[in-house]
């Protein structure tokens, strides 16, 4: 009996520390800044243990039953904690709150357990020996956990599996104790069934955890994947490397938070600063909210309509704490109106609404589906929402690596009787990148106003951006139409040759 | 610490595992919904065993200057051109509820789809009557350097054709991947030859191959082509590679319903040498297409004379007399007989109908005997998903090398939505070729939905091995008499027709049967020619 309960202490303390380590590692992995994460989590955990110990005095009778029930709860809550945290991170819902709640809850359970065991054992041994034994095993368990965690558990099992495995240990212990004390407790069957249910849930989680896709993705992206999901339209993957986040849509890099400001300032400010107090802006694509962040720097802007097909993507960038920090909570700004719609269909159905500025940030034309958004029919339809002074801009792949594609887009826009101003900039993550400004009238290209606090764009820079050196010039005459989608083979050819 | 460890799986998966067993238990025996479209078969077949209703005394007797019999493209075009020629005293009688014949369409909750004709090839520059129609209907929107600008919305979007060959989808329907040099050269040489023949002329400088056929001139040389099959002709010229022959055979089955070993060499060459469009904003081989197929054109024709159109009118007798023509029609809905006495009649029905109903000294019954039509059926399959296969992405026309069927058309292809999302509506075309006789037609007539399902799935499975589980429903359309098949002698038949129609006084025939090519352009031209003659006679 004494040995059994000491083993129990050993297991309880090991599991407790493991949950704490999992939470700390996971938080510092997802949120960065490991010093803060670990110290706040350890603090919360220890405090919660104290709270648990305090609460233990309210347990008057049925000590063994209570202990077993708490053991089961610890197993389920602790075991599934990392799964729950991953899901919360993905859905962006109150990650911090859930994190500290789970840490606190596990702490309370563990805190309850130690005093309970001591009270159960009190009848069999002297207080002196009891305190010595309990704390000895408690600390040995902690030592073992803290050594096994980085050396064995994380490398071989990963975080989610580690926590589930220890959850199973808690549950297993509870089952064994139920069996051992079956005579002393009132309704052992109920406890037994509860224990089995917990065990089944955890075992399922443990088995189903293996997904080949994520492993291969990780090899592709190199950095650690902190979030991955498949929306109705695309595969969304967010990675983090130290303090930089990257977004991949269908394995194409969309931004890296280290240098996205260059890309987005160059996308938004040239046209916005040429306009006279633009009020209404249309953004097509741009579900990451970065173009919004730049647009909101203009006080004259009263209303921004953002049309993105993928509601899931927008939702991640609206709700996730790490990501909406990057776009400065643009999606929560009352001036912003998000429409979940296919851009082409949105333009087709537009009813006389006109916009002063149009920012188009579609993915590159790497397949026939997206290619439709770079055709003459698209730019003709776009004119439905333009008035005579509207200026628009579209990201147009790289004029250095894919110059034929770049100039093909320029020709396509011109073929619909719009005036264009091609320009480009350097974004380290992408390389040399191109944009095309378009309007009905010929623009004088003079910058009228620039908001304060830009990190990259300036009127000096604007001069050099419009200059195309010889290696970026090309006299392509192909026009991209719905009936030929001539851009797609060009784009494939050029980017493929780059990686040969 | 390895980052790898964080990502091996998501929490969602472990949570999902808890509810997964519940979902699994819901999976039961799945059944594909099957249905057959169209009541045309019963209606048309009334002509074979005349019903007792046919002997009734007519409920109405009407005087009409002109009666057009048959509401397919030929009849619609005849009516359209009568209207264009300011002639208003006519009726157009159609046995079905829906006009359009082979160009009619249907729809389900996901898409419209044609029951037969899917597209219009861009017309030749000298087909000015059709070009004029397309201009009026905003299908041609302008002109640049003498070349027509077509409405981008209706030019078949890219990618338009893909062929499943050697394990992946390649662009276009001519086999290309991994061919040896000799085969490549043979294919190239064939197409160069056909390109030259596009410019072939007779002694007087008139073109030999063109669409419509009325724009062609005759030369005795063509007569030789019309006496042998396309395959024999190709053998003579040493075009024998498996890949080229498959492609040519496919084209013949697709457009004529019979293989290249059955059709006239003239028709085979005509297929490749007669199209010479030079559009400004598309390829010369581009087509105009709509999710409802050529029904879009039917509606554009029909809207000009809605009040002249009488549906449910099965014409049972056309009797040409010295001073007038009597047309008796059976109203299939009301089960009554209507009688029209007219000065002129345009007979825009197919030959297998004409031989039952037309009584005219100008048109001997045996004239219609040699003209044959192939039995076909179309399976319109609704599939919940269509996973990406190696190679080119989902196209408008999707064909597999070496199968019995003709592949499938993706009906929602012209949608402007960025990502094609299921359910997908696919029209699978099956021709019962090598099936010339009545026996095969009867086989199709009696074929069960289950048997047709089997054939359709077999065709789809070649390209999409996993597709069966994703098929939600299949609708079938049977065409007992599909497209006209140009057997050797087809050109001679055409010339016989031209001669007979020159002497026609009161009954004028308009049908693609006499061009041996069931395409919109021929029907449009046949109707127009008949309308011109009628107006000339009145």
Q: Which pLDDT tens digit goes with each residue over A317-329? A: 998 888 888 999 9
What is the tens place of the pLDDT at every residue in B303-336? Answer: 999 999 999 999 999 999 999 999 999 999 999 9
Shared-domain flag, residues A53 and A140: yes
Per CB-CB distance under 8 Å, the chain A contacts of B18 are 201, 204-205
Of A351-355, B78-82, B488-492, where does the model show the most confidence? B78-82
> Shortest CA distance to B441 belongs to which of B226, B249, B257?
B257
Give the CATH number, domain containing residue A430. Answer: 3.40.50.150
Could you identify the residue written with the tokens 């309308």? B531
Query: Across the interface, do B4 and A342 touch by the CB < 8 Å criterion?
Result: no
- B10 with A206: Cβ contact below 8 A: no
Q: Are residues A49 and A183 in the same domain?
A: yes
Instruction: Give A31 to chain B, closest Cα distance, Å.
Output: 13
Q: Which of B11, B17, B416 sits opposite A344 (nearest CB)?
A: B416
Same domain for A204 and A233, yes or no, is no
- The answer on A445 and A458 residing in a single domain is yes
Q: Say what the pLDDT of residue A87 is.
A: 74
Chain A residues whose beta carbon lies within 8 Å of the beta carbon of residue B3: 29, 218, 223-225
Chain A residues touching residue B153 (CB < 8 angstroms): 377, 482
Across residues A491-498, what is the average pLDDT? 85
CB pair distance less than 8 Å for B418 and A342? yes
For A145-176, what is each residue's pLDDT tens digit? 888 888 888 777 777 888 889 999 999 999 99
Sign of CA dihedral A372, A373, A376, A382: positive
CB-CB contact of B69 with B318 (8 Å):
yes
Q: Is residue B453 within 8 Å of B34, Cβ to Cβ?
A: yes
CA distance A216 to chain B (A): 10
pLDDT attached to residue A210: 55
Output the pLDDT for position B24: 41
Answer yes or no: do A200 and A247 share one domain. no
Based on the domain organization, do A334 and A291 belong to the same domain?
A: yes
- Residues A249 and A264 both lie in one domain: no
At B40, the pLDDT band (50, 70, 90 cuts) reads low
Q: How many residues does chain A have?
A: 500
pLDDT tens digits for range B237-271? 999 999 999 999 999 999 998 899 999 999 999 99
Shared domain check, A243 and A122: no
Contacts of residue B420 in chain A, CB cutoff 8 Å? 369
Contact between A327 and A361 under an 8 Å Cβ cutoff? The reply is no
Span of A79-83, A229-233, B271-275, B484-488 with lowest mean pLDDT: A229-233
SS3 state of residue B294: coil
The SS3 assignment for B475 reads strand
Residue B392 has pLDDT above 50, yes or no: yes
Contact A482 B155 (CB under 8 A): yes
Neighbouring C-beta atoms of residue B167, cutoff 10 Å: 9
Residues A169 and A271 in one domain: no
Catalytic residue among A288, A361, A444, A471: A361
The answer on A243 and A295 residing in a single domain is: no
Q: How far is B536 from chain A (nearest CA, A)?
A: 42
Spatial CA neighbour of B321 closest among B377, B361, B269, B276? B361
**Residue pair B341/B450 in contact by the 8 Å Cβ criterion:** no
B5 and A157 within 8 Å at the Cβ level: the answer is: yes
pLDDT tens digits, one per residue of B393-406: 999 999 999 888 89
| Chain A nearest CA to B295, separation (Å) | 21
**Which residue in the block uniquely carries the two structure tokens 């159109």?**
B309
> How many Cβ contacts (< 8 angstroms) between chains A and B?
161
Query: Which residue of A84, A157, A343 is in closest CB contact with B11?
Result: A84
- Record: contact A484-B282, CB cut-off 8 A: yes
B155 vs A contacts (CB less than 8 Å): 481-483
Lowest mean pLDDT across A17-21, B110-114, B171-175: A17-21
The torsion defined by the Cα of A243, A244, A245 and A249, in degrees rounded to 10, comes to -160
pLDDT band at B19 (very low <50, low <70, confident <90, very high): very low
Contact B12 A90 (CB under 8 A): yes
Q: How far is A476 from chain B (nearest CA, A)?
A: 17
Give the pLDDT mean for A357-376.
Answer: 92
Q: Which residues of B touch A18 (CB under 8 A)?
A: none
Q: Residue B298 corresponds to which tokens in the numbers above?
A: 């039917």
**Closest-approach residue (CA) in chain B for A159:** B6
**Which of A212, A244, A272 delimits the end of a domain?**
A212
The model's pTM: 0.76
Which CATH number covers residue A57? 1.20.1250.20
Q: Crossing angle of helices A188-207/B11-26, nearest 10°?
A: 100
Examine the domain organization and report whether A286 and A229 are in the same domain.
no
Identify all chain A residues contacting B12, using CB atoms and an 8 Å cutoff: 83, 86-87, 90
Which of A420, A334, A406 has the alpha carbon at shortest distance from A374? A406
Range of the domain at A134: 2-212
CB-CB under 8 Å, A345 with B417: yes
Residue A310 and residue A430 in one domain: yes
Does the pLDDT of residue B439 top 80, yes or no? no
How confident is the prediction for chain B on average, in pLDDT? 89
pLDDT band at residue A212, thresholds of 50, 70 and 90?
very low
Contacts of A293 (CB under 8 A, 6+ apart): A264, A327, A328, A330
The structural domain count of chain A equals: 3
Mean pLDDT check: name the lowest of A203-212, A465-474, B498-507: A203-212
Considering only CB atoms, which residues of chain B are within 8 Å of chain A? 1-18, 20, 152-153, 155-160, 281-283, 286, 393, 416-421
ipTM of the complex: 0.76
pLDDT classification of B440: cutoffs 50, 70, 90? confident
CA angle centred on B153, ends B147 and B156, rounded to 5°: 80
**Closest Cα in chain B, distance from residue A479 (Å):** 9
What is the rounded radius of gyration, in angstroms, for the C-alpha atoms of chain B?
Answer: 25
Question: Are A234 and A249 contacting, i.e. CB atoms less than 8 angstroms apart?
Answer: yes
Q: Is residue A361 flagged as an active site residue?
A: yes
């Amino acid at each position: 009996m004494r040995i059994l309960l000491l083993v129990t202490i050993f297991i309880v303390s090991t599991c407790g520390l493991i949950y704490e380590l999992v939470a700390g590692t996971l938080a510092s992995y997802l949120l960065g800044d490991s010093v803060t994460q670990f110290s706040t989590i350890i603090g919360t955990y220890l405090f919660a243990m104290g709270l648990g110990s305090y609460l233990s005095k309210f347990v008057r009778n049925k000590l063994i039953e209570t202990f077993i029930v708490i053991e089961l709860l610890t197993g389920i809550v602790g075991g599934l904690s990392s799964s729950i945290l991953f899901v919360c991170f993905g859905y962006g819902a109150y990650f911090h709150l859930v994190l500290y709640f789970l840490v606190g809850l596990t702490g309370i359970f563990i805190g309850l357990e130690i005093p309970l065991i001591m009270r159960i054992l009190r009848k069999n041994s002297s207080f002196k020996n009891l305190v010595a034994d309990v704390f000895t095993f408690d600390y040995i368990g902690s030592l073992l956990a803290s050594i096994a965690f980085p050396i064995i558990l994380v490398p071989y099992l990963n975080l989610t599996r580690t926590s589930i495995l220890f959850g199973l240990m808690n549950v297993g212990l509870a089952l064994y104790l139920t069996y051992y004390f079956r005579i002393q407790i009132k309704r052992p069957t109920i406890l037994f069934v509860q224990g089995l249910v917990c065990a089944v849930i955890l075992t399922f989680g443990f088995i189903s955890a293996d997904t080949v896709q994520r492993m291969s993705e990780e090899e592709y992206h190199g950095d650690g994947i902190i979030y991955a999901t498949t929306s109705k339209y695309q595969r969304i993957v967010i990675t983090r490397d130290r303090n930089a986040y990257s977004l991949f849509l269908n394995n194409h890099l969309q931004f890296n938070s280290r240098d996205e400001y260059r890309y987005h300032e160059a996308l938004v400010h040239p046209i916005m600063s040429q306009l006279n107090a633009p009020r209404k802006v249309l953004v097509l694509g741009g579900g990451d909210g970065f173009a919004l962040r730049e647009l909101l720097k203009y006080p004259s802007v009263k209303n921004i309509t953002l049309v993105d097909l993928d509601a899931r993507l927008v939702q991640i960038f609206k709700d996730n704490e790490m990501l909406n920090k990057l776009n400065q909570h643009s999606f929560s700004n009352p001036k912003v109106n998000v429409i979940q719609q296919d851009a082409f269909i949105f333009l087709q159905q537009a009813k006389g609404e006109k916009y002063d500025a149009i920012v188009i940030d579609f993915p590159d034309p790497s397949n026939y589906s997206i290619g439709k958004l770079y055709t003459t029919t698209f730019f003709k339809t776009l004119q439905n929402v333009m008035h005579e002074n509207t200026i628009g801009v579209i990201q147009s792949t790289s004029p250095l690596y894919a110059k034929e594609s770049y100039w093909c887009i320029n020709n396509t826009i011109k073929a619909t009787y719009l005036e264009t101003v091609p320009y480009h900039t350097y974004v380290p993550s992408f390389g040399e990148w191109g944009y095309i400004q378009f309007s009905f009238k010929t623009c004088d290209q003079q910058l009228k106003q620039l908001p304060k606090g830009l990190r990259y764009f300036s009127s000096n820079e604007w001069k050099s951006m419009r200059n195309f050196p010889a290696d970026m010039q090309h006299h392509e005459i192909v026009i991209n139409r719905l009936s030929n989608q001539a851009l797609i083979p060009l784009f494939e050819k050029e980017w493929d040759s780059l990686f040969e | 610490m390895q980052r790898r460890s964080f990502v091996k799986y998501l929490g969602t998966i472990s949570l999902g595992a808890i509810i997964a067993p519940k979902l699994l238990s819901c999976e039961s025996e799945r059944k594909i919904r099957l249905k057959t479209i169209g009541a045309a078969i019963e209606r048309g077949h009334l002509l074979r065993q005349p019903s007792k209703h046919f002997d009734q005394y007519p409920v109405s007797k009407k005087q009409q200057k002109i009666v057009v019999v048959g509401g397919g493209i030929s009849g619609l075009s005849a009516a359209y051109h009568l209207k264009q020629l300011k002639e208003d005293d006519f009726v157009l009688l159609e046995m079905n509820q829906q006009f359009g014949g082979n160009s009619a369409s249907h729809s389900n909750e996901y898409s419209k789809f044609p029951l037969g004709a899917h597209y219009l090839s861009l017309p030749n520059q000298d087909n000015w009557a059709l070009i004029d129609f397309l201009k009026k209907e905003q299908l041609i929107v302008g002109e640049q350097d003498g070349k027509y600008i077509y409405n981008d919305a209706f030019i078949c979007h890219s990618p338009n054709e893909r062929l499943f060959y050697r394990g992946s989808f390649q662009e276009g329907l001519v086999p290309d991947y991994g061919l040896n040099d000799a085969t490549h050269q043979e294919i190239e040489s064939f197409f160069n030859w056909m390109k030259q023949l596009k410019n072939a002329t007779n002694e007087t400088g008139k073109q030999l191959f063109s669409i419509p056929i009325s724009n062609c001139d005759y030369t005795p040389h063509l007569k030789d082509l019309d006496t042998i099959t396309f395959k024999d002709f190709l053998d003579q010229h040493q075009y024998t590679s498996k890949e080229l022959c498959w492609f040519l055979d496919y084209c013949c089955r697709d457009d004529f319903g019979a293989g290249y070993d059955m059709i006239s060499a003239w028709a085979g060459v005509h297929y490749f040498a007669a199209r010479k469009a030079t559009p400004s904003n598309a390829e010369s081989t581009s087509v105009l297409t709509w999710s409802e197929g050529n029904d879009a054109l039917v509606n554009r024709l029909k809207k000009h004379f809605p009040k002249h159109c009488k549906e449910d009118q099965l014409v049972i007798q056309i009797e040409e007399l010295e001073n007038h023509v009597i047309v008796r029609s059976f109203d299939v809905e009301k089960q009554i007989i209507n009688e029209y006495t007219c000065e002129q009649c345009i007979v825009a029905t197919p030959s297998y109908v004409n031989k039952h109903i037309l009584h005219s000294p100008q048109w001997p019954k045996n004239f219609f005997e040699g003209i044959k039509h192939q039995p076909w059926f179309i399976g319109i399959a609704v599939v919940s998903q269509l996973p990406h296969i190696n190679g080119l992405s989902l196209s408008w026309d999707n064909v597999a090398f070496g199968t019995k069927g003709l592949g499938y058309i993706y009906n929602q292809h012209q949608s402007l939505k960025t990502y094609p999302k299921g359910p997908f509506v696919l029209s699978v075309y099956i021709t019962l070729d090598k099936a010339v006789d009545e026996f095969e037609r009867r086989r199709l007539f009696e074929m069960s939905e289950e048997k047709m399902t089997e054939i359709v799935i077999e065709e789809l499975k070649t390209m999409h091995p996993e597709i069966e589980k994703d098929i939600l429903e299949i609708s079938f359309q049977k065409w007992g008499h599909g497209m006209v098949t140009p057997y050797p002698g087809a050109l001679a038949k055409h010339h016989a027709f031209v001669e007979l129609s020159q002497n026609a006084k009161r009954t004028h025939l308009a049908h693609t049967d006499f061009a041996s090519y069931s395409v919109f352009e021929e029907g449009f031209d046949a109707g127009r020619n008949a309308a011109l003659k009628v107006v000339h006679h009145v």
